[in-house]
Amino acid sequence: MIPLGKVTREHMCGEERRIVAQCERQSVNAIIQGSAADVARMAMILCEFNPDLREMGVQMLLQIHDELVFEVPVDCVKDAIPIIRECMEHPFEDDLSVPLDVDIGYGFSWASAKG
């Protein structure tokens, strides 16, 4: 019998190793996914409460993974894009160590906006 504190990968059989590897992947992925969700959430808040976007009548409709979908009056599209881009690329007071690049498309449907 191996003392609990002394268990290493060498002591594990195939199935146990697979489970441990899966748990390690999930624990790393949880941090990455959680951080991405925080970035998206903060960008949503900035867009929702931006006075210029509100004045234009821009309404956020929904979030799909890392995408935000807005309803924008046709005559305000060109003015709204740089504001939305700024909110999404700089969601926090301090810039992130990795720059966020945002692709923005527009159209009369989500499919046409995605190009």
Question: pLDDT tens for residues 36-48?
Answer: 899 999 999 999 9
pLDDT at 108: 92
Domain at 63, CATH number: 3.30.70.370
| Number of domains observed in the structure of the chain | 1
Task: Evaluate whether residue 74 is within a structural domain.
Answer: yes
35-69-99 Cα angle (round to 5) = 40
Whether 3 has a pLDDT exceeding 70, the answer reads no
Task: Evaluate whether residue 12 is within a structural domain.
Answer: no
* Span 57-71, average pLDDT: 93
The pTM for the full model equals 0.77
For residue 55, give its domain range.
41-114
pLDDT at 20: 79
Task: Evaluate whether residue 108 is within a structural domain.
Answer: yes
Task: Evaluate whether residue 72 is within a structural domain.
Answer: yes
Query: pLDDT over 70 for what percent of the chain?
Result: 90
Q: Which amino acid is at 9?
A: R
3-state SS class at 97 = coil
Quick: pLDDT tens for 81-107: 999 999 999 999 898 888 999 999 999
Residue of 111, 88, 83, 110 lying closest to 100 (CA atoms): 88
